[in-house]
Amino acid sequence: MDVKLSTWLMLVVSLPGRSQTPRMRLWRALKGAGAAMLRDGVYVLPESDGARALFKAQVDEANHAGGSVHVVPFTSTDPKQEAELRTAFDRTQAYAQELERLAVLRRALRQLAETEARKRLTASRRELEAIAAIDFFPGAARAQMETSLADAEHAFNARFAPDEPQGKRTAIPHRRMQDYRGRVWATRRHLWIDRVASAWLIRRFIDPRAAFRWLKKPTDCPKRAVGFDFDGAEFSHVGARVTFEVLAASFGLDRDPRLARLGRLIGYLDIGGVPVADAAGFASVMAGARARHGEDDNALLADMSTVLDCLYAAYSETEGDSS
């Protein structure tokens, strides 16, 4: 099989004096970005805008410290050199450590409290995101890690959230907002990511006068209430879309790029998939809010509505605000 030869950037830097501070600052920045050190003072990264920006910052730092520094672009000369360079970016060992952590977590799930189990699962998800961010040549190890994480999340839900809905394979019909004003909406109590975000979406964009019922079990849903995020509810998972995304699509709200971006965040945290930059932070805030309010889902929704309002406003700065 032919090996595609890559374009690389090499940073060659020499710093004067005996002070270790500039050297440690440079080393930490490059290590954190996944750069490989070929020898003392020689670092390499696959060519990209991010690599160029990183090396430019180190050039500025080195010049400020009175050092000598050069950035040299080059292309691999042959498949052997390409393979040798890629070996320096092999993240298999890092993935292996996380796979072991997930295996330990799954074995311990029956003995762990939900808060501790969720803390460990969140840590593993955050670590996967960090490794993936510097995995420039992803392969089988990354796919195995993603599968293992999805399996651990499934085991977690089976242990602590057995009523999580299963995605149906069906079209999402369009609904008229005027038919859903002043309604009672019902979902499972002890809110988590998808349910709290869906409740925020309902009250913020669909039914400002919505009243909520938090159910001990789905069968407790009142007949005239609009159920969401449980099997058999009017609004729940459809295929790979979580309830938040289904609600947005049902009422035509998914055309708002800010809500679409929130949907990707909620979807990743609820069922996995492509990592999202804000995921770990949002999950930590959510876990803290739930620990703070205990069984008071109304207070939890109030707190997390402020967080979601802030995220929506922040996303308008990067996605564009058409309102």
- For 191-206, write each residue's pLDDT tens digit: 999 999 999 999 999 9
274 has pLDDT over 60: yes
Q: How many domains does the chain have?
A: 3
Give SS3 for 237: coil
Neighbours of 210 (CB within 10 A): 17
Is the pTM of the predicted complex or chain greater than 0.85?
Answer: no
- The predicted model gives 289-312 an average pLDDT of 96
Percent of the chain with pLDDT strictly greater than 70: 94
Neighbours of 276 (CB within 10 A): 17
Same domain, 79 and 99: no
pLDDT at residue number 320? 42
Whether residue 169 lies inside any domain: the answer is no
pLDDT at residue number 157? 78
Whether residue 167 lies inside any domain: the answer is no
Whether residue 123 lies inside any domain: the answer is yes
Neighbours of 160 (CB within 10 A): 17
Calpha distance 164→91 (Å, rounded): 33
Same domain, 36 and 57: yes
Give SS3 for 56: helix
pLDDT, tens digit (0-9, with 9 covering 90-100), for 44-55: 999 999 999 999
Range of the domain at 29: 7-87
pLDDT at residue number 167? 61
- The predicted model gives 96-107 an average pLDDT of 87
